[in-house]
Chains A and B, each alone.
Chain A
Amino acid sequence: MDISLNGAPHRFDGSSLIELLAAQAIDQTKPGVAVAINEEIVPRAEWKTASLKAGDAVEIVRPHSGG
C-alpha cells in the first residue's frame, strides 16, 4: 500500500507499524525515537499493536543537532 513516510511517498508491503519500523531498521529497543501517525503520537508501548492503512502519514523523528 502507499503511505507517506516522513513527508515522502512510500510503498509498503506490510500492514503494521512494527513491520514498517523493522523495514526502516529502527532499533525498537533503544530510546531516542518517536512516531506519529496522522499527527497522533503513538506511544512506544503501542508500537506493536498499531496498524497502518493506505494513505496514512507516518512520521519517525529523532533528536538532531539544533537549537
Chain B
Amino acid sequence: MSKIDAPPVLTIAGENFGSALMAGTAGYPNRQVMLDALAASGAEIVTVSIRRADLNAPRESLVDLLGGKYRLLPNTSGCATAKDAVLTAGLAREALGTNWVKL
C-alpha cells in the first residue's frame, strides 16, 4: 500500500507501508476532522473498533468512508475478557476480511 516508490518504512506479513504510524479513529470532534487528520498524518493503517451496530440510527459505514484509502486494522476495544476478544477478532475477520487484529 506504499504510496510512492521509496522503500517501505514498515513491512507486516509481507505487506509494505510507507508510514509506521497507526492512527486511531476515536476522539475527533466530527468525521471531517478525522478525515483531515488522517490525511495529514500520512498514516496508511487506521484502527477501528468492532461493536454492535446501532440499528435504530444507521450511520455512514466506516468501511465506505475509509476502506478504499486505508488498511483498516480492527481492535478489541471494549472487550473485558479473553473470550470477548477472541469473538470480536472473529467478527472483525468476517466484517473486514482481515486476519489482522490489534489487541
Interface size class of B (residues with CB under 8 A): 35 or more
Partner among B47, B52, B91, B96 whose Cβ is within 8 Å of the Cβ of A31: B96
Interface string of A37-51 (1 = CB under 8 A from B): 001010110000000
Interface size class of A (residues with CB under 8 A): 20 to 34
A31 proximity list for chain B (CB < 8 A): 63, 67, 95-97
Q: Which residue on A lies nearest to B25, using beta carbons? A: A65
Cβ of B34 < 8 Å from any Cβ of A?
yes
> A67-B47, A67-B49 known; A61 and B91 CB under 8 Å?
yes
A33 proximity list for chain B (CB < 8 A): 53, 95
Q: Which residue on A lies nearest to B72, using beta carbons? A: A63
Interface string of B39-82 (1 = CB under 8 A from A): 00000000111111101001001111001000010110110000
Q: Which residue on A lies nearest to B89, using beta carbons? A: A41
- Interface set of A (CB-CB < 8 Å, partner B): 5-7, 24-26, 30-36, 39, 41, 43-44, 59-67
